[in-house]
Amino acid sequence: MRFVITAAPLGVTAALLAGSAAGSAGCAMGGAMHQATLVGQCAENDAACSRKHPLAPLAIGAHFHPDVSAEIAGTSTPNLRLESVAPDILSVEAGDLVGRQSGASAVLISTDDGSVVDFIHVWVAPVTQITLSRRDGERVSGTVGLAVGEDITLEPALWNGPQRLAGDQDLQWTVSDDHAVSVLRDGSAGRRRLRARAPGKATVTVGLGDSKATLEVEVVP
């Protein structure tokens, strides 16, 4: 015989508590216990940010910079830390989630004293394709024409089949003729700015392992 009398199913109560948390965080990745959310660290108006893809698998080798918060009745968010259950699949390094190999691992969201507030299962997948987009999200391919002195900012996206992967990856950028086009860093791990320097043609290649994306750039006077 069971002596417990429950006023409402716990799951329902917790889901109600979590409702406002998920709403305030937009497209947040909700925890299994409905108490915490995990999103990417992005500016509100950054269209290319990984906040847009909090539910996507993390690319192998990529870093995801999480922004964790919790909404628990009667308390502000306590001091939280992250811990991976399977560090060989997904590790936590200096607060970042780092994809190590294909698979799934729970990420525990705990207080300083180790009490688990929530957890999220995060998937890791290999990169099968790289695409390039402008900062507004429009995909760029084929040939791009630029006038001398003109810039174009390119954001690479990592894909596993039809799924866009999350995380920042240290990609290899090369240009066939650096007299015509320069590739400049702009403070983001993956993003680059192409500067048209002199009339001519150049091929810009972005590579990661066996995957690569190329873009032909034609610079006119």
Residues that bind other proteins (CB under 8 A): 1-7, 10-11, 13-14, 17, 32-33, 35, 72-75, 85-86, 89, 102-106, 108, 110-111, 114-117, 119, 121
* CB closer to other proteins, 80 vs 198: 80
Residue 139 to residue 137: CA distance in whole angstroms? 6
* CB closer to other proteins, 119 vs 219: 119
* CB closer to other proteins, 43 vs 73: 73
As measured in angstroms, the least distance from the Cβ of 162 to other proteins is 16
Residue 100 to residue 97: CA distance in whole angstroms? 10
As measured in angstroms, the least distance from the Cβ of 163 to other proteins is 13
* CB closer to other proteins, 14 vs 180: 14
As measured in angstroms, the least distance from the Cβ of 76 to other proteins is 12
As measured in angstroms, the least distance from the Cβ of 10 to other proteins is 5
Closest CA to 69 of 82, 86, 56: 82
For Cα atoms 211, 145, 149, give the angle at the middle one, nearest 5 degrees.
Answer: 105
* CB closer to other proteins, 100 vs 134: 100
As measured in angstroms, the least distance from the Cβ of 46 to other proteins is 28
Those residues whose C-beta lies under 8 Å from the C-beta of residue 117, and which sit 6 or more positions away, are: 31, 33, 35, 36, 70, 72, 78, 80, 109, 110, 111
Residue 97: Cβ-neighbour burial (10 angstroms; 0-12, 13-18, 19+): buried
